[in-house]
Structure 1
Amino acid sequence: MIRALKGATLLALALVATAAQAEETAVRTEHLDLRLVPMAEGLDDPSSLVVLPGELLVVGERTGRLQTFYNGERQAVEGLPEIQTAGQGGLFDIVASPDYADTGWLYFTYSSGDAASTATALSRGRLAGDRLVEVESLFEQNRRSEPGPHDGARLAWLGDDTLLMSIGDRGEPARAQDTQDHAGAVLRLGPQGLAPEDNPLLEQAGYLPELYSWGHRQVQGLAVDARGDVWAVEARDSGPAELLRLRAGENHGWPEGSDDAEAAGADFLDDLASGELFADDEAIAPTYRFAEEGSPSGLAVVDGRHYPAWEGHLLVGGMESGQLYRLEIAAGEVAEAEALLDASLGPVRDVRQGPDGLLYVLIGGDSGRVFRLEPAP
């Protein structure tokens, strides 16, 4: 039974009086008092964010540009491979390797190809000042398509240092049910981009060796919790968006499990409260179905070093709502939900927790920004 918290407020304190004065807002939540601190601005359609040791921010823009921010200073980074940006293509996600302190590897996903056909690809490189060096192409999906929707790829590391990579259905829903097509799937790869020998479907006829799960439309957030459970959020075409707990080697239903039923409630939290559950005997049910207008994007599992009351909770961004949502997971279900803001920040594109234990929020669009969500002093 979900308890949807009411009356969560964002109190705007010290709003900017001049363009030179930084905007800072205080956030009062059910369990914690926090503040949003601006960290970067002037971004053009940012798609992903990684926080490196020493509070170095690396932001990827869908248009194929990489930028770093440190102590208020911005620097453009050269050295990315050629990236196609037609349709919804571009630079997608960036993550640091688990052994980043020793190896310096940054992994990133993007659209590879030309104006006629593209594929979602994975590469890695090392950051050296204003350049990405030693760039290696690791993986490319097995079937190219005309540029269009749902190229997107999110990344998340499992505890055994294997990498999960999602690929959208490329605007062709039937491909998500084709287990010999990487489109509409979540893949499990080793650090060099190869299928690990213990992948769930490695030796089964009719399945690509990289498959971890399939039946996905367009995963917009991917994260792994301390128990090893894999969580994802994705929007559906004609129905509410979904929070998924991924199961290795299983079908998650798109498009066979989709229908035209309206969302159970008028907004994101109402849908969580009354949560119409997906039902399909041959597919894994999502944990909950959200309201369409929530358009979730970005997903983080909270380490409670600075947020003790939120240990293990999920934070989800809202692209259309411009909100940030907290979901408490208990026994594999959403036990408590809270909207943290009562005013839109703009489209929330990504949510990350840095090595410093603090949470960072990436705002998309043509005036993109980065905020840090800190405990109030």
Structure 2
Amino acid sequence: MLLRYGLNLIIGMLSLLICQISILHADVIQSQKHHFNVEVVTGSLQHPWGLAFLPGGGILVTERTGRLRRIEDGSLLPTPIAGLPKIREKGQGGLLGIALHPGFAQNRWLYLAYAAGNWGNYSTEVLRGRLDGSQLSDVQTIFKAVPKSGGGRHFGSRLVFGRDQTLYISLGDRGERAAAQDVGDHRGTLIRVNDDGSVPPDNPFVGDAKARPEIYTYGNRNMQGMAMHPVSGAIWTHEHGPQGGDEVNIMRAGVNYGWPAITYGVNYGSGTPIGEGTHKAGMAQPIHKWVPSIAPSGMAFYTGDAFPSWKGNLFVGSLKFGLLVRLEVQGEQVVSEERMLDGRYGRIRDVVQGPDGSLYLLTDDREGQLLKLTPAS
């Protein structure tokens, strides 16, 4: 009995010592409202793009290279999810946004955005399929952006379900600036469809013979961040500007967000003006902008309990500077900004709040990582 007690005591002391050593060697970041640890959940991800948490545990990660990966108990499973269609890794295109249906626990519908096409003609498409372990089945293409075009720029694409269970799909202008002002063209728009891809009857351009009925907003350059406001239910996005002029916008039905007629950015290299200035009647102004550009990607409102002073804040990743940007929001205004990480982990591609209230980040690299932010003692 004494021997068993002694062994238990030694094991307990060793466990405590290991825990203390881990804390001492934790990567602790100091910030204005909370100090936090940064833990590497897993690496070996090839240009990870988006992530989603499965009910009951497990994480899905899209890789731009065209693979859908699953993480269980902190371990990256070696075999990708099967059943995906042919995906084109073309420049900024590949396997991109991911979302679970609000009723996923019952219907198992998983949604993915990806680049598709051939012979130099590509666009963003969206599928849904039922996830069964390591397999997607009953795969259906529910949206295809038209027209398809060449080049590898500006595919978007984040996926977010609204409170009414309609699906929002953020797109880019595919490098064709003028297309963003044409509602007969999906390029440079925010799309809104039902969960099966059909068009909601209250979409703003339904009944307009010259417009695509799936369009919800237009005049957008390349939206790679999107989130639903936890109180109002409004859809917020951010988009890349050219050289300067990254924007945060609140998306309203039928609104023109100005690209390329108005922008706070300038042409690459030459620095010459684009369009007609920064303001024009009938075109919306951003609620926040970055000049110079931070190259934003990923976006999440924080609603958890792990970081109480961050509640209601908007978090944005930065590709260019490797930042995690925290925006304090009051109503529909951004009142302050804090920049964290400062390139320490490389390009931040996505930001998502986990079920445990931690923040999770994806780093965009050939050896990309999934990072977890937890409160520091």
What TM-score bracket applies, with the shorter chain setting the length? 0.7 to 0.9
- Report the residue type matching 2:202 in the other structure: D
| Separation in 2, partners of 1:107, 1:135 | 10
Residues 278 and 286 in structure 1, CA contact (< 8 A), matched pair in contact too: no
Name the counterpart of 1:349: 349
> If you compute each CA radius of gyration, which structure gives the higher value, 1 or 2?
2
Name the counterpart of 1:20: none
Write out aligned runs for 1:125-136 (5 A). 125-136=129-140
Name the counterpart of 2:177: 173
Deviations 1:56-86 (A, max 9, x none): 1111111101111111332221211111112
Deviations 1:260-301 (A, max 9, x none): 569xxxxxxxxxxxxxx9422121101122033411111001
Residues 265 and 291 in structure 2, CA contact (< 8 A), matched pair in contact too: no
Residues 298 and 316 in structure 1, CA contact (< 8 A), matched pair in contact too: yes
The 1:342/1:218 distance shift into structure 2, 3 A limit, reads closer
Name the counterpart of 1:142: 146
1:249 corresponds to 2:254: yes
Name the counterpart of 1:7: none
- Report the residue type matching 2:181 in the other structure: Q
The 1:342/1:109 distance shift into structure 2, 3 A limit, reads closer
The 1:133/1:261 distance shift into structure 2, 3 A limit, reads closer
| Separation in 1, partners of 2:88, 2:187 | 17
- Consecutive unaligned residues of structure 2, counting only runs of 5 or more, are 1-24, 268-276
Q: Please, what TM-score do these two structures have when normalized by structure 2?
A: 0.86
| Separation in 2, partners of 1:242, 1:260 | 10
1:124 corresponds to 2:124: no
SS in 2 for 1:250: coil
Report which stretch shifted further, 50-59 or 104-113: 50-59
SS in 1 for 2:163: coil
Name the counterpart of 2:215: 211
| Separation in 2, partners of 1:318, 1:259 | 18
| Separation in 1, partners of 2:291, 2:41 | 30
Report which stretch shifted further, 204-213 or 308-317: 204-213
1:259 CA drift (Å): 5.5
1:238 CA drift (Å): 3.5
1:98 corresponds to 2:102: yes
Write out aligned runs for 1:143-162 (5 A). 143-162=147-166
Name the counterpart of 1:192: 196
- Report the residue type matching 1:113 in the other structure: G
1:343 CA drift (Å): 4.6
1:238 corresponds to 2:249: no
Residues 123 and 145 in structure 2, CA contact (< 8 A), matched pair in contact too: yes
Write out aligned runs for 1:22-41 (5 A). 24-41=26-43
SS in 2 for 1:176: helix
| Separation in 2, partners of 1:130, 1:205 | 43
The 1:347/1:194 distance shift into structure 2, 3 A limit, reads same
The 1:278/1:354 distance shift into structure 2, 3 A limit, reads farther
| Separation in 2, partners of 1:335, 1:200 | 31
Name the counterpart of 2:263: 258
Name the counterpart of 2:320: 320
Deviations 1:191-227 (A, max 9, x none): 0011111112212342211111000110010111121
Report which stretch shifted further, 346-355 or 51-60: 51-60
2:112 paired residue among 86, 108, 115: 108
1:340 corresponds to 2:366: no
2:59 paired residue among 57, 60, 72: 57
Residues 200 and 249 in structure 1, CA contact (< 8 A), matched pair in contact too: yes
**Structure ranking higher on relative contact order (CA contacts 8 Å, 6+ apart):** 1
| Separation in 2, partners of 1:94, 1:307 | 25
The 1:37/1:257 distance shift into structure 2, 3 A limit, reads same
Residues 245 and 264 in structure 2, CA contact (< 8 A), matched pair in contact too: no
1:182 CA drift (Å): 0.5
RMSD (Å), alpha carbons: 2.0
Name the counterpart of 2:363: 363
Report which stretch shifted further, 297-306 or 212-221: 297-306
| Separation in 1, partners of 2:285, 2:202 | 24
- Report the residue type matching 1:64 in the other structure: G
Report which stretch shifted further, 248-257 or 126-135: 126-135
Residues 278 and 289 in structure 1, CA contact (< 8 A), matched pair in contact too: no
Identical counterparts, % of pairs:
37
Name the counterpart of 1:297: 297
Deviations 1:103-153 (A, max 9, x none): 111101001221331221010112222222221111111211124211221
- Report the residue type matching 1:288 in the other structure: H
Q: Please, what TM-score do these two structures have when normalized by structure 1?
A: 0.86
